[in-house]
Amino acid sequence: MQSISSYYSIGKLVKLLQIDYPDISISKVRFLETKGLIEPERSSSGYRKYSDKDLNQIRWVLNLQRDHFLPLKVIKERLIGDSGSGDVEVFQLPQLDPSVPPDETLEFSKSEILKRTGLSEEIFNDLESYGILPRRNQVVGEMYNADDLFVVQIVAKYSVYGIEPRHLRQIKRGADAEALLIDQRLTGLQGKKATKAVRELSRLSSELKTLLLRRALHGNE
């Protein structure tokens, strides 16, 4: 990954996108801009300059359209939410599917995540120290993905209640243990059967944890 963004003309941008999305066209890119899904910079002469961020953002939008059949209105709602707090921009957490790998089409620097979430750098560093966030070496161009951003957004909300990264270590350990358990149950399963099993086991786990939490909170009432 490159840490310094390149700029592309709309023609070059479309050619790069057509590798994965053959039907993309210049008019489609301009349409996405009119819908507020990308905001390319402008040169001094008024020409649009598309960055690597614009390229990845369009890929993310097209992926949600093609693979998840989402309308652009819903995609925009997921992309940018109203945080109600001035300059802090919130990405809407999508419906999570543990059978699908994290979305790598959107990339964020550490400073960008801090700006979007309002989280302090100290707490961010603690998240990495406790393994709740992976360590990314931005010196060599490693960036954070959408899942990393969502994790930080959730932690920022936890912090309102005085819950710090060190308190979340148990949740992380539980997730690791659960992933190991599910992985062991997938032995011999492939393709759609494996995907179905991951979704079903994850759903059952979520329901069980909710019930156990409710019992723990209200069991003696």
Q: Map out the domains of the chain with their CATH numbers.
A: 1-79 (1.10.1660.10), 168-218 (no CATH)
Give the pLDDT confidence score for residue 85 in this predicted structure.
Answer: 39
Confidence of residue 188 (pLDDT cuts 50, 70, 90): confident
Mean pLDDT within 94-105: 68
Burial of 74 (0-12, 13-18, 19+ CB in 10 A): middle
**Cβ pair 124, 164 in contact under 8 A:** no
- Whose tokens are 């941008």? That residue is 13
Q: Does residue 131 carry a pLDDT above 90?
A: yes
Half-sphere exposure of 110 (CA within 13 A, CB side): 17
Task: Give the pLDDT confidence score for residue 93 in this predicted structure.
Answer: 57
Indicate if the pLDDT at residue 209 is higher than 70: yes
Q: Alpha-carbon distance 50 to 36, whole Å?
A: 14
pTM of the model: 0.57
What's the pLDDT at 106? 72
Q: How confident is the model at residue 83 (pLDDT cuts 50, 70, 90)?
A: very low
Contact between 29 and 58 (Cβ < 8 Å): yes
Q: Give the model confidence (pLDDT) of 132-182 as tens digits.
A: 999 888 777 778 888 898 899 889 888 888 899 999 999 999 999 999 998
User: What pLDDT does 1 receive?
Assistant: 40
Residue given tokens 């003696």 in the structure block: 220
Q: Beta strands of the chain (E only): which ranges?
A: 7-8, 41-42, 48-51
**37 touches 79 (CB < 8 A):** yes
Give me the pLDDT at residue 125, please: 93
pLDDT at 168: 93
pLDDT at 105: 67
| CB distance 17 to 38 below 8 Å | no
